[in-house]
Amino acid sequence: MKVAMYYNNRDVRLEEMAVPAIGPGELLVRVKASGICGSDLMEWYRVQKAPLVLGHEIAGEIADVGEGVERFRAGERVFVSHHVPCGRCRYCVAGHHSVCDTLRQTRFDPGGFAEYIRAPKINVELGTFRLPDEISDEEGSFIEPVGCVARAQRFAGSRSGQSVLVVGSGISGLLHVQVARSRGAGPVVATDINDFRLNAARDLGADKTLRATEDVPARLREMNEGRLADLVIVCTGAMPAIQQAIQSVERGGTLLFFAPAAAGAAVPIPLFEFWRNEITVLTSYAASPQDIVEAIDLIRARRVRVREMITHRLGLAEAGLGFQLMAEGRDSIKVIIEPQRG
């Protein structure tokens, strides 16, 4: 089968690999759509593991079922989680599924930028979901990122009437805008340095957009009767944006770090001010099964509009171009790789 092999952000090659052989309890899935995630471009993290086949936002069709599989059959359309929590350990029981040892050790084989993947038994049992007829394959590839956003906002207590600032209007930022609106939050303000993405944020539900070069805290106070944002969601690892976010949280508010800075980077928090103003600092990574279920419902009900976010659909041979488009971020939002495209 053909795969897109990642060496670095500028070197993604079309290569051949054997179709994975499946064992008892496993599935062979023909990948129909696989999204390029912003985390796929974290070169400082990915290169140390290269070469490898990336891609964890997938939707596909079951091509074959292993011995003992009873819940699924060939021909069914599915979403498969690449990481799955055990659901039983002390972390899962406490609601911190993303730090479960099992989640950090599980994955499908190889990545989603391939014609086929093998879903191991545990992924089949705990992380495979049928796609409703109302959700297309390309929409199904958004289930994982929407699930991550839903979990983050659940952690942050996103709610009706809450003012929200989304810092960075890339893929995750645009999803945060929509999920916040689906929960009744507002006003929702989005920032970016890119006019194309700011326009997308407006189209997808932001009440107001601001260029990141503006004095964002001052503009928030102008729009919000002297107040800052109750919930500030950081969707970029750029240090100036992080510093701006820190200055934009209202008293009693929450600062949610959804995107990481580079490993080892120090983020200065004004502890005295945060202590005095009772500001909560949160992080969120990945999604639990309950968040995947919520993501499917949000997409099916069109409360989160993902199709409008797709700017490019490419075959495996063009995966390198997809990485380039995502890295440049000028006129692209979501790039979908379609491994079955000729």
| Residue 52 shares a structural domain with residue 158 | no
Answer yes or no: is 290 within a domain. no
pLDDT in tens, 207-236: 999 999 999 999 999 999 999 999 999 999
Q: Are residues 159 and 212 in the same domain?
A: yes
Q: Are residues 95 and 167 in the same domain?
A: no
* pLDDT value for 81: 97
Range of the domain at 26: 2-142+306-337
Q: What is the mean pLDDT of residues 283-298?
A: 96
Total tally of structural domains belonging to the chain: 2
Q: Residues with Cβ < 8 Å from 277, sequence gap 6 or more?
A: 249, 251, 252, 253
Kindly report the CATH number assigned to the domain that includes residue 322: 3.90.180.10
In a domain, 244, yes or no: yes
Q: Could you tell me if residue 108 is inside a domain?
A: yes
The proportion of the chain whose per-residue pLDDT surpasses 90, expressed as a percent, equals 92
Q: Are residues 184 and 105 in the same domain?
A: no
CATH number at residue 278: 3.40.50.720
* pLDDT tens track for 174-212: 999 999 999 999 999 999 999 999 999 999 999 999 999
- What digits encode the pLDDT tens for the residues 157-166? 999 999 999 9
Q: Are residues 134 and 255 in the same domain?
A: no
Tell me: do 47 and 174 sit in the same domain.
no
Res 342 pLDDT > 70: no
- The answer to whether 156 and 235 are in contact (CB under 8 A) is no
Would 279 be classed as within a structural domain?
yes
DSSP 132: P
Distance, in Å, from the CA atom of 168 to the CA atom of 279, rounded to the nearest integer, reads: 21
User: Is 91 inside a domain boundary?
Assistant: yes
* Domain contains 94: yes
pLDDT tens figures, 230-285:
999 999 999 999 999 999 999 999 999 999 888 888 899 999 999 999 999 999 99
pLDDT averaged over every residue in the chain = 96
Between the alpha carbon of residue 286 and those of residues 68, 191, 251, 252, 283, the distances in Å are 29, 23, 28, 26, 11
Decide: 189 and 166 in contact? Cβ < 8 Å.
Answer: yes
